[in-house]
Amino acid sequence: MAADVRQIEDPILSVQGLTVAFDTEAGPVRAVEKVGFTLIKGRTLGIVGESGCGKSVTALSIMRLLPQPMSRIEGGQVVLDGIDLVALPAESMQTIRGASVAMIFQEPMSALNPVHTLYKQISEPLRIHRPELSKGELKREVIRLLTDVGIPDAEGRLSAYPHQLSGGMRQRVMIAMALALSPAILIADEPTTALDVTVQAQILDLIRRIQTNSGMSVIFITHDLGVIAEQCDDVVVMYAGKVVERAGASTLFADPKHPYTQGLLASMPRLDAPRKTRLATISGQVPGLMDLPPGCRFQNRCPHVMERCRSEVPEEVTVGEAHQVACHLYDMIGGSGKGC
């Protein structure tokens, strides 16, 4: 396999062989299996896939925020600046979270405390991590953070409670909280899914602007390829707990290799399509994690399925510069493979 050139650019986070299991009434299931990718400093990586594909579990594993005690990281590494976060004691993760890696979620109310004012919530991490700040400096810093994320009359809002804000404003407050300690990496898990289209565009714009100004690296978790096209430099496509394709965003959109990625792209609405064109869909359902077939997990939906797909698990092969795909259509002739 050829080297992934992005791995020798300037990686800030490297996930290798990540495997996560959940205990269920029917026994343990692997929600994520041998997932690997690299986030490059200053770039945006999108993780895309249908719900239940393991993208949020991957994000929570990086943060070591998996629900306890029913889930665990069974194998693999999450290496941040040379430190394997999987091997760190829980107490050490508290200094990583917020300061090195921060996360924002789809529903801000799940992260904001409804009974505390904005000032109390945003100043909290600053109080803990920067005890040298005086009361006045702390207040100025909170006002600056709220202003930076576009909250009008930031000073006047310090004593407001989350329920007094609109959904878009709450999302801005959550971003302000996430940015309080200037993290090197921001993980955004479907941050705009619950918002209307105009507010969605404003929030995406805000994240892009913050990234340009700060040089922060971003991981975008989404089911929306439109968001990926707008925001991301690199893309990881996940299906049923596995990575099926990795590439630069422009490569992925111009030359998708995996039949699942091709299906996702075909189901995207296009402005240049004739009116009343029906959108393509991927037939069938994602298999349940308790019910995974042997071989390729996409076999029951794949228009190119072959005999060997029913029994052999496809390994990732390199099909172009920084372009990897896990599909038997491409592993027959040393990774150069054939297209579908």
Q: Are 234 and 250 in contact (CB under 8 A)?
A: no
CB of 313 to ligand SF4, least distance (A): 9
Contacting ligand SF4 (CB under 6 A), which of 44, 299, 318, 324? Answer: 299
Binding characters for ligand SF4, 13-42, by CB under 6 A (x = yes): ------------------------------
Binding characters for ligand SF4, 235-274, by CB under 6 A (x = yes): ------------------------x---------------
CB of 18 to ligand SF4, least distance (A): 21
Task: Establish if 304 lies at the interface with ligand SF4 (CB under 6 A).
Answer: yes
Contacting ligand SF4 (CB under 6 A), which of 314, 317, 322, 324? Answer: 314
Q: What is the CA radius of gyration of the chain?
A: 21
What is d(CA 9, CA 113) in angstroms, rounded to the nearest whole number? 40
Site residues for ligand SF4, 152-181, by CB under 6 A, read none
What is d(CA 1, CA 77) in angstroms, rounded to the nearest whole number? 21
Contacting ligand SF4 (CB under 6 A), which of 85, 122, 158, 309? Answer: 309
Query: Based on CB atoms, which residue is closest to ligand SF4, 47 or 296?
Result: 296
Stretch touching ligand SF4 by CB under 6 A, among 71-79, 125-133, 166-174, 304-312: 304-312
CB of 115 to ligand SF4, least distance (A): 49
- Contacts of range 157-164, beta carbons closer than 8 Å, 24 or more positions apart: 157/118, 158/117, 158/118, 158/119, 159/117, 159/118, 159/119, 160/117, 160/118, 161/114, 161/115, 161/116, 161/117, 161/118, 162/108, 162/109, 162/112, 162/113, 162/114, 162/118, 163/114
What is d(CA 95, CA 36) in angstroms, rounded to the nearest whole number? 24
Binding residues (CB under 6 A) for ligand SF4: these are 259, 296, 298-299, 302, 304-306, 309, 314, 327-329
